[in-house]
Amino acid sequence: MNIRLVFLIFVIVIFAAGTGFLSYSQSTGIPLTQAYANGNVVITQNTSAGTIPHKVNISNNGKDPLKVQVGDVLTSDSSQDLVIAENKTLKINSTDLVSAYCIESAQRAVPGVKLKASGTSSNAIKQVIEGSNLNDLANATNVQVQIYILTSGVDFNIYSGEPVAVVQNQNINYTKLRQIVSDAKTALSTRFGVTVDNIKNINQNTTSNSGNIANEFLNWIKTNTGV
């Protein structure tokens, strides 16, 4: 039997198994953005400005489990935009509180405001969140400031919006907050191997969808087998 044909059959079997696993993984829950677009989810800001991490109330009113993932973005015209900070699966007709970090520094969170599910954050923000400890206030605060830096720049305004509320909520002074900002810059520089001046270039979204992965894989097969 032609060795290329044997190789092609082997690759197709492996690819089919991987695709089946991906489909099975997706079947364990409907992604938040999709469920929201279908009108099956209600998301409400639960905590006041300055809380770290924030809590949002998510209600799953659909006929399938709901998959909430790190990096899911929640937006509002009148409250703080947020990014989900933990993975959770909500059962049918259930409600749960989910942790989230702020995205923008200038806006304040307003309890009771309804939020929209609006896609996903950059990979850089996801990596920063995944390295955080939601139960450690100092660690979570450092991570929150890292997100401000990634989204608003290293010189974001600490005298507006959520940063002011953080100072009030944690009963700290601005000298302490400036030190937290400095520590956050150092953490980002170390994590991503860049200088402070180049932190602005970190926040690039390189997320690929499964369709693109499949097409790239098929192209690779054609290139390497000559079929």
Q: Which residues contact 39 (CB under 8 A, 6 or more apart)?
A: none
Q: Which residues contact 151 (CB under 8 A, 6 or more apart)?
A: 103, 104, 105, 125, 203
Q: DSSP string covering 106-136, please?
A: SS---TT-EEEEEEE--HHHHHHHHT--TT-
Output Rg (C-alpha) for the chain, integer angstroms: 21
- For 128, the token pair is 């920063």
pTM: predicted TM-score of the whole model, two decimal places: 0.79
User: Which whole-number Å values give the CA distances from 20 to 3, 37, 114, 166, 209, in the listed order?
Assistant: 26, 25, 36, 46, 16
Q: Give the pLDDT score at 124.
A: 97
- CB-CB neighbours of 221 under 10 Å: 15
What's the mean pLDDT in 52-57?
A: 98
Long-range contacts of the stretch 133-140 (C-beta < 8 A, 24+): 134/53, 134/85, 134/86, 134/99, 137/52, 137/170, 140/52, 140/53, 140/101
The residues spanned by each domain of the chain are: 3-225
Partners of 54 in beta bridges: 100
pLDDT at 69 over 90: yes
**pLDDT band of 132, cuts 50, 70, 90:** very high
Q: What DSSP character marks residue 53?
A: S
Q: Give the pLDDT score at 5.
A: 53
d(CA 95, CA 76): 20
Q: Give the pLDDT score at 218.
A: 44
Reduced to 3 states, what is the DSSP secondary structure of residue 142?
helix
What's the mean pLDDT in 67-80?
A: 97
Q: Give the pLDDT score at 7.
A: 54
